[in-house]
Each structure stands twice: as C-alpha cells, then as structure tokens.
Structure 1
Amino acid sequence: MNQTEMLSISTFSKMSDVPRKTLIYYDRIGLFKPAFVADNGYRYYYRSQLDTIGMIHVFKEFGMSLEEIREHLSHRTPASTLEFLRKQEEVIQLQIARLERIGQMISMRAENIEHSIHVNTSYMQVIRQSRVPVLLSCRVHASKKQFPEDLWDDFQLRLQRENAPIGYPNGVIVKKEDLLKKDGDMVSHMFSRIETHFHEQEYMPEGFYLVSYTRADYGDTDKIYPQIFDYMEKKQYVVIGDAYEEYLQDEVSLQNPEEYLVRVMVHIKEPSIDEELLC
C-alpha cells in the first residue's frame, strides 16, 4: 500500500471539514472506516472517500441517525442507493416548501408591522386592490366573542397541509349579508393570504375597499363597525362584498392585548368621488 497516494487522517480531516475525533469515532462504530491503518495505528484514506463522508454529512442533515446511515452504507448497492436518494429528495422538497412558507410568514409580519407604524386609527380611506389569493377555513356563522374551537382547529390543519408554520398571519371574514344588517360581530371564515397547493384557491376580490383601523383585543373588533357603517352612510358607499379583518400588530409585537392593531377592509362599490381614493 503506497501511503504517499493516500491522505493522512489530519489531511483528510481538513479537506472534509470533519474533526479527527469524529473520524476516529466513525471508525470505531463501523460507520466510516479508513482505507488503511498502519502498524503504528495511523489512519489513511483514499481521496475518493471524500464523496462518502460528504454524503454522511448530508444524511445527518436529513435528520438520520448514525445507525441508520451505517445500516444503509453497509448494504449499499446502486439500486438501494437510488431508492434511498429518491426518498431523501422528497424529504428535501418538503423542507424547501416549509422554509418558503416560513420566509413568507416572516416577510408578511414584517410588512404588516412596517405598514402599521404610522397608521392613524381615526382615519378611514378607500383603496383599490388587486385580487389576492387566500386560503379559507370551513364556513361557519358564529360570534367573535364565542369563537368556535373547531373552526380554529380546521384552519390550522389546512395551514399545516399547505406547509405553513404555526403563527402564520390570519384573519376573519364578515359576510356581506351581515354587513347589510349592520352586524360586524358574526364570522363566516378564517383566512390567510397565501397561494394554495393542496386546497382550492380562493381570492379576496379585486376592487375598492373601505379601510379602517382600530386598537382591539381578539374578539373585540365589532366595536369599530358602528363607525364604519356611519361613515359609509355619510359617504353613500355601497357594500358589494365581505369585510376582511387582519391584525397588523398582535402578540408577536405587543405585550398588551388591548393595544393590538386590526385592519378592517370592506368591499364596496366604486365610489362616485375619489377624494380619498388611493391606488
């Protein structure tokens, strides 16, 4: 065995970024053995073994135990390796989807807080909005003050199915028929702004929305609706769709629930005047 054609454990450790102690431990448990051990106990490795130690790194990142990796390597064939890698490929794709959703959640929460910092809660305005993809829960008709537990459970399962993490921003919808009765307390759905892959894609319609803000704890947002109805009557705005409630500041950024900031967007007919219209 020509040792000059092989890598010492120190050299192999530097090239593979695996500590010497780890390489020795891998050898002892039969996970990854050197190509040659000299009479003096020095370990030597083929350069090609860098490929194997690299895959062990990857397998560990998949969350595999050392015993699982050892079992695979000790019985590896092209066919078994191909099957194994395809399975891990599926795991990676799920992890990527999960990380993308986490990134969306972080961006959305940051944008909500950034937008909310200079909000004037005494001011209402009309905006024109493009169609927004949303995920909806099952439909109910329940008071915000007696929020149904099964609605929350249903929606969390739907978010999980979409690989959305716990804490993904969500809101509630008040239906048009309740708004026409001047009732802002009854909830029909929970929703999140998200493009769906496993559920039917729903949308917050394109159009004009009267936007209002208030400070309120969960379940107390009905207190803003009398002001909204009075303002709409004064401006002669016509309700043509639902109201969408979303918290821009919540427990993530505030310690006092009474200071949570909620945005209410009511879908209205295009105003005949545009003195307050923002595009």
Structure 2
Amino acid sequence: MKNNENDRYSYFTTGEFAKLCNVGKQTLFYYDKIGLFSPEIVADSGYRLYSYEQLEVFTGISVLKEMDMSLNDIKTYLENRNPQNLLELLETKQKEAQIKIERLSELKKYLATKSEIVLECMNASEGSVSYVTLPEEYYIFSEYHGSPEISEITTAFIEHLNYCHSFGIFSPYPVSGIVKTDNIPGPEVYGYARIYTRISNKIDIPRVAIKPAGTYAVIYHKGGFRSVYKSYQKLVTDIRCKDFKLGDFFYEDTMLDELAMHGYNNYTLKISVQCIDKTESNN
C-alpha cells in the first residue's frame, strides 16, 4: 500500500471523486465495504484516495447498473472481465432492452387509451342520446348468472379480470357489463348477461366475441348504478321514437370508476346499443 503524503495531490479525495462521479460519498464507502470498488490508496493519515484511472472503472460500474445488473453481478463480472464476456453481456442486455422497449410501447398505448376514455367522459353530454357509426369491435366475455347484488357483481368482475390476466391481457378498456335488450333495466329489474372487456384485436382464446359494426345509440349516465335504469329507459324511448329495432345487447361501460370518482354513485357509465332499421331487418 502506498502511503506517501505527496501522492495526495495526484489523486482525488473521496469527496472530490464523488462529486466528479455525481454520487454521494456514502456510495463510495458502501462499494468499498462490499469489495466492489475501493480507493487506490489509503494513506497513513487516513485519506482515501482515488486515481484518474479509476474514473473509467466507476463509469463502467454505472453503465452496468443502468443495465439493471445487481451489485453482486457487477462484482462477479468485473472479477472475470474479458472481451468475450463483455460481448456476451452486451448481447444479453440488448435482448432485455428490446423487451423493455416493447413493454414500454404497450404501456404508452395503454395510458393513451385511458386518457382518451377520460377525455371522452369529460366532454360527453350527460343524458342526451346520440347516434354514431361504430366499426366492428372484439371483446372477451364471461357469462354472468349471479344476482344484481353489488357484491356478486364485483366478485364476477374480479374473476373475469383474472381470466383476462391469465392470457396476459391487460386491456385499457374498463371491465363492464352486457345486458340483454329483452331485459330492459327498470327500478326493480337489472341483470347482466355477461361481464366483458373490450380488446383491440381479435385473438385466438376462448370466449372472444364480436360487437358488430353499425349504428349505435349512445347515452352517458353520471350518477352510478342506482339510477342508471332511467338512462336505459330514455335511450329505449328515443330509439323507438325513431322507429329503430334494438340489437341483442346493451353495452354498459364503466368509464370513470374509483380511480377518478369517489364511490359507485358517482361513476360515469356509457350505454350503447345497436340500432337496426326495421325495414332492413324484415328483408
């Protein structure tokens, strides 16, 4: 070990080295403690001194940390480093980086769709019926045979969500309910036929169905589930006044849930149903 005090002016103190590397002194103390990176000189006076050459080593450690390597793995690599090991490490990390890029890309799409849903609700006109042309959509469904009790419905929603997750599907669209149009909700009648989650593309797993393309009547309900039957009835009345025939299902989407609102009674729901021209349906 060198211990010449004059050497001190050719090296960096712990504080100087830490500042150059943009880390705290405690990081350098910890690295020394675990045997990962130690000062080149510990002088008789107690000074801990780092050399210029060690800047390159520390930079390498920082790069390896950016690759999500643990300190133990970094230590093992540095003790056995050579060009071949570096090449293998870089190839492995490139593959891992590509996986992360793909995951982040999916996350970005997920967040963008969530934002679109929130903006749609914020700009929606509550209680008014509109008619829109929608393309064909796909959804995953679970048949529902439970009661209208919120506890049973919530359990079914969770089971359905777990089913989706079992196939690696994390849709940005809300888990929602489907009601048959021959069972129009009223004050005492309100039953889901299916629990469903919209997906972006058709996939080859069980229980994937199509929401057909066509003209849909849409109404937004801001007031949760207890009074939503009023919006169903308003929607049906408007459709019948325009002499349309109802499709098979109402699609009830929970657009703003507990992440945006406090309590079921403040949720925003979107109800849509296909409208079929009676003349065309008779043909």
TM over 0.5: yes
> Which residue is 2:181 aligned to?
179
Cα distance in 1 for residues equivalent to 2:109 and 2:99: 15
Q: Which amino acid aligns with 2:252?
A: E
> Which residue is 1:49 aligned to?
57
Shift of 1:93: 4.7
> Could you tell me whether the CA contact under 8 Å between 2:144 and 2:192 is conserved in 1?
no
The CA deviation string for residues 20-52 of structure 1, in whole angstroms up to 9 with x for no partner, is 432243123211245x43756411142532541
Gaps of 5+ in 2: none
> Which residue is 2:79 aligned to?
74
Cα distance in 2 for residues equivalent to 1:43 and 1:202: 66
Q: Which amino acid aligns with 1:213?
A: Y
Shift of 1:126: 0.4
> Which residue is 1:136 aligned to?
140
> Could you tell me whether the CA contact under 8 Å between 1:109 and 1:248 is conserved in 2?
no
**Closer/same/farther in 2, CA of residues 225 and 143 from structure 1, 3 Å limit:** farther
Q: How is 1:109-148 mapped onto 2 (pairs within 5 angstroms)?
A: 109-132=114-137, 134-145=138-149, 146-147=152-153
The CA deviation string for residues 35-88 of structure 1, in whole angstroms up to 9 with x for no partner, is x437564111425325412224314xx3x5433433343344555555555555
Q: Which amino acid aligns with 1:255?
A: H
> Which residue is 2:215 aligned to?
208
Tell whether 2:62 aligns with 1:58. Answer: no
Give the number of aligned pairs.
261
Shift of 1:89: 4.9
**Closer/same/farther in 2, CA of residues 15 and 219 from structure 1, 3 Å limit:** farther
The CA deviation string for residues 172-223 of structure 1, in whole angstroms up to 9 with x for no partner, is 2426xx2145466223232145458896886544321100122343586455
> Which residue is 1:252 aligned to?
259
Identity of aligned residues (%): 18
> Which residue is 1:267 aligned to?
274
Cα distance in 2 for residues equivalent to 1:202 and 1:251: 27
The CA deviation string for residues 94-126 of structure 1, in whole angstroms up to 9 with x for no partner, is 544554454444433433333323533331110
Q: Which amino acid aligns with 1:149?
A: T
> Which residue is 1:276 aligned to?
none
**Closer/same/farther in 2, CA of residues 149 and 250 from structure 1, 3 Å limit:** closer
**Closer/same/farther in 2, CA of residues 66 and 50 from structure 1, 3 Å limit:** closer
Q: Which amino acid aligns with 1:234?
A: C
Structure showing greater relative contact order (alpha-carbon pairs closer than 8 Å, 6 or more residues apart):
1
Cα distance in 1 for residues equivalent to 2:234 and 2:219: 9
> Which residue is 1:155 aligned to?
161
Q: Which amino acid aligns with 2:112?
A: S
Gaps of 5+ in 1: 273-279
**Closer/same/farther in 2, CA of residues 51 and 205 from structure 1, 3 Å limit:** farther
> Which residue is 1:16 aligned to?
21
Tell me the secondary structure at the aligned position of residue 244 of structure 1: strand
Tell me the secondary structure at the aligned position of residue 51 of structure 2: strand
> Which residue is 2:232 aligned to?
225
Tell me the secondary structure at the aligned position of residue 269 of structure 1: strand
Cα distance in 1 for residues equivalent to 2:233 and 2:116: 28
Tell me the secondary structure at the aligned position of residue 239 of structure 1: strand
> Could you tell me whether the CA contact under 8 Å between 1:251 and 1:257 is conserved in 2?
yes
**Which structure has the bigger radius of gyration?**
2
Shift of 1:242: 3.4
**Closer/same/farther in 2, CA of residues 85 and 120 from structure 1, 3 Å limit:** same
> Could you tell me whether the CA contact under 8 Å between 2:174 and 2:255 is conserved in 1?
no
Tell whether 2:250 aligns with 1:239. Answer: no
Structure 1 length-normalised TM = 0.70
Q: Which amino acid aligns with 1:227?
A: K
